[in-house]
Structure 1
Amino acid sequence: MSDALINGVAGAGGGIIAQILTYPLQTVNTRQQTDRDPSRSSSKEGTLKQMIKVVKHEGWGRLYGGLTPSLVGTAASQGVYYYFYQIFRDRAEAASLNRWKRGVGDGSVGMFQSLVVAAISGCVNVLLTNPIWVIVTRMQTHRKKKALPAPVSHSQDEAGQTAIVEPPPYGTINAVQELYDEAGIFGFWKGVIPTLIMVSNPSIQFMIYETLLNKLKKRRDSNMKGAGGITALEIFLLGAIAKLGATLVTYPLLVVKSRLQAKQGVEDKRQQYKGTCDAIIKMIRYEGLTGFYKGMGTKIVQSVFAAAVLFMIKEELVKAARLLVTGDVKLINVKLKSAR
């Protein structure tokens, strides 16, 4: 089994677990981002209060609306990203080694090269998986309609009581059909421009993560502990710090992307967006700069925790996979050291 495939499968596994643990926070955060009325009371409510409100009025299931396509998207995104990241990383390391043999550089992959590798991997990931995330956004922002009385001719049941008609469930097929009817096949790539720009998020995240990890490894090497001296808890903390830094920088783009991907069925033309630039201009004009940071507190908690869990689980899965393949613990540590 190739190292790229091991990292791809491990990344997908870690991503799925992190997604399940943090999904209710994601749902609330997406609703916060797509709330276009600054005067609405929900814009000022805390995350926990909004979660309770969703459960009270729409049921527990709405907190997990779109979970199935989201898990598919997470597995696909993490698998695609880590697979191509490892491939491009291996090529960058080979190129650096060749330059070192010619007397140029020290043979290691620099920070800028790591940034480029992460960015290219992110672009491939976005182009392949964007349709899944548009569907997830639609399902997360869909609000369950209230039950209505049946038509007059069928308004009473056998006991003489007024019959209530529950709205039909809103599932993946409904979201796909709604999106296609609204914008055709190109609708599945709504928000792709800000999403492509947002590849800087994982790029910044991995740059911070690998920089901190290399410093920690050097400290461990000086203490004669090697890569094996880095614990799962330390990986967890490094992943959290890296994601925090990346989220603070790129959050406004995430809000714009969610606005574009959410259903545009609002009557007010000021809240309908034709594209990325139109969304940015209207948000600045009608909501101010604060509109770009709606729900950021929720997102920081969710994304930092999810990223930390992802990194920790991914590293453990990579170790376990290499142990199954090679049966050599020493080789595992050597590969972990050379993979960064």
Structure 2
Amino acid sequence: MTANDSFVRRTALNSIAGTFGGFAICMVGHPFDTLKVRLQTQPSGNPIYKGLTDCFMKTMKWEGIGGLYKGVGSPLAGQMFFRATLFTTYYQMTNFFAGDARKGLRLTSPEYFISGMTTGLTVAFVEGPVDMFKSKMQVQIVRSKAGHPVVYRNVFHCAYVIWKGHGIRGVYQGLSATFLRNIPANAIFFGFYELSRDFLTPKGGSVRDLSGGALMLSGAFGGLFYWLLTYPTDVIKSAMQSDDVIKSKRQYDGLVDCVRKLYHEDGWRRFFRGLTPCLMRSLPANATMFVVVEKTRLFLNRYF
């Protein structure tokens, strides 16, 4: 097999595994994400939801179970490309650090963190639009209760309207905040995942021998630290992406202005609004995703 064949094969296998993992995390985690975004972006002066339970109850009352999956079309459709890009980039970076001399061997912890950081930078260009369309749909109910008209019929209509009216700048609304979150968050995400796998590997064993439960625990730790250590940046990203698509009508002039105005609303507490559903989501969703990804990679490597 040539080096190019090896690269193509790795890319294909990682893309397929990432796609399956993305589908899994979307199905498990999207309802929690909807509650998180709605709590993050509701007006501080006249909040619609009193807390997580109230948000859940009102969502069910006003929209039914479908309300919890509001905007799911964007991440679900985007997973095929986004998660494929995420895991392909990550594993190609780890392969780069390993080189021929350490092929098949474990990397150092800093190398895993750097691989995750580079991955976060790369996938921001894919994840940004996916998150933005999702956020627009998730907060539309909040805006409608405040007297604003319903603009988007579904997430695909949302993408069409924004692209037609505002082009590439509209699609990448809040990109600076996406970078602010993604680069450190993915370094933490993959770094702590790999640290957990090393810790759980029995002496003399290999990470390839880890059970599904151990992989789930490692994925849960990666997701937990992802959000615990970078959550305020996600609040900033949600605020900027859910802002008006028309620049002259936006609340925030840019990243710095957004941080300043959010802090003015409720101090440091404003940057942790919606943390509870986020943590409730991160553990099962990321645990499920990493098990699906790793088991799919093992299966594909064995039979293809």
Asked if these proteins are the same fold (TM beyond 0.5), I'd say: yes
SS in structure 1 opposite 2:99? Answer: helix
Would you say 1:257 and 2:264 are equivalent positions? Answer: no
Q: CA deviation at 1:183?
A: 4.7
1:6-155 alignment runs, 5 A limit:
6-40=13-47, 42=49, 44-46=50-52, 48-94=53-99, 97=102, 109-143=107-141
- Contact in 2 for aligned 1:58/1:143 (Cα 8 Å): no
Q: 1:214 to 1:194 in 2, by over 3 A?
A: same
Q: CA deviation at 1:65?
A: 1.6
Aligned position for 1:296: 275
Q: 1:168 to 1:196 in 2, by over 3 A?
A: closer
Q: Which structure exhibits the higher relative contact order, with contacts defined as CA atoms closer than 8 Å and separated by 6 or more residues?
A: 2
- Contact in 1 for aligned 2:240/2:252 (Cα 8 Å): yes
SS in structure 2 opposite 1:264? Answer: coil
Aligned position for 2:185: 201
Q: CA deviation at 1:5?
A: 2.4
Q: CA deviation at 1:127?
A: 1.5
Distance 1:312 1:8 in 2: 15
Distance 1:283 1:55 in 2: 28
1:257-276 alignment runs, 5 A limit:
257-264=237-244, 272-276=251-255
State the Cα deviation string for residues 210-232 of structure 1 (Å, max 9, x = none): 11212322x342xxx54454110
Distance 2:206 2:108 in 1: 21
Q: 1:283 to 1:130 in 2, by over 3 A?
A: same
Aligned position for 1:235: 215
Q: 1:4 to 1:182 in 2, by over 3 A?
A: closer
Q: CA deviation at 1:26?
A: 1.1
Aligned position for 1:3: 10
Distance 2:120 2:241 in 1: 19
Bigger Rg over Cα: 1
Aligned position for 1:158: none
State the Cα deviation string for residues 277-321 of structure 1 (Å, max 9, x = none): 111001111221111000001101112221111011111111221
Distance 1:265 1:319 in 2: 43
- Contact in 2 for aligned 1:70/1:136 (Cα 8 Å): yes
Q: 1:126 to 1:169 in 2, by over 3 A?
A: closer
- Contact in 2 for aligned 1:70/1:132 (Cα 8 Å): yes
Aligned position for 2:4: none
Q: CA RMSD in A?
A: 2.6
Aligned position for 1:187: 170
Q: 1:182 to 1:258 in 2, by over 3 A?
A: farther
Q: CA deviation at 1:238?
A: 1.3
State the Cα deviation string for residues 136-183 of structure 1 (Å, max 9, x = none): 11111111858xxxxxxxxxxxxxxxxxxxx79721343235535775
Distance 1:183 1:191 in 2: 14
Instruction: Look up the equivalent residue of 1:289 and give its one-letter code.
Output: W
SS in structure 1 opposite 2:244? Answer: coil
Q: Which runs of 5+ in 1 are unaligned?
A: 99-106, 147-166, 326-340
Q: Which moved more, 1:130-139 or 1:89-98?
A: 89-98
Aligned position for 1:153: none
- Contact in 2 for aligned 1:252/1:293 (Cα 8 Å): yes
Q: 1:39 to 1:55 in 2, by over 3 A?
A: same
Number of residue-to-residue matches in the alignment? 288
- Contact in 1 for aligned 2:74/2:156 (Cα 8 Å): no
Q: 1:238 to 1:129 in 2, by over 3 A?
A: closer
Distance 2:140 2:233 in 1: 21
Paired-residue identity, %: 22
Q: CA deviation at 1:264?
A: 2.5
